[in-house]
Structure 1
Amino acid sequence: MTGRRYTVGQQVLDRDRQAHGRIVGCYPSPLVLRLMDEAGFQWIARTVACEPAGRQPAVQDAGGDRGGVRIPPGRVPVDVPPTELRVGDHVIAGGRLVTITDLRYRHGGTRTVILSTGRLAVADRVMRVYRSRTS
């Protein structure tokens, strides 16, 4: 059985907390790491529940370019951190506008987003959402 080796400064996803973090400390036990998110919140994580954060998140940020996606009337683009996401916000995922139906696991500066398509995503940075003008 081969295990992963982690180093200080490496970005990982803690599956137990559903949060991304940077390793700030490795303990003598090979099973424990100290992680810190972008907001400065630190926690202890098990190495068996961590994986290197090298893949793309499921929610694609529009990045200022609508990319041919039709935005419904009355909706405006707003850039928000994960802690300010709301149920009912729309995000661009898979080339179309999808509604956020549920938010879970608020640990540190991240949220787990459940979309109307049934897909899950971890919101770990400021992202563009489309809200109604009255919200």
Structure 2
Amino acid sequence: MTAARRYAVGQVVFDRDRQAHGRVVGLYPSPLVARLVDTAVFQWIARTVASEPAPPPPAAARDAEAERGVVPVPAGRVPVDVPPTELPVGDQVLAGGRLVAITDLRYRHGGTRTMILAGGRLAVAEHTVRVYRPRTG
């Protein structure tokens, strides 16, 4: 019998039972099962003994996903759409194909805010912005 594999949240695996690729979104206390989600946001529970790690996508596919705004959500964070006036320091935004933390906010004129991101980059929030916040509760 094959030993159960350990997976991490966000890792892409191939479920041999369903013949489908999925990203791990939940782990259970039992090392024998994990919750997976596919690109259509359909979730299912998969046996880890019937799953295998998927090879990393080619660089061209990763770049295409970054352009479309598809980014793996870090463990413990959830995506939230907020207006610029409700942006707090510490949230993360998608910039350059990766998540970058907001370190400071300036110039609250009208409905816009200027975000100062980690690394000194500037970005202006004019409309609703998708941020990634720590999961609560």
Output the TM-score relative to the length of structure 1.
0.49
Structure with larger RCO (C-alpha < 8 A, sep 6+):
1
The structure that has the greater radius of gyration is: 2
Query: TM-score normalized by structure 2?
Result: 0.48
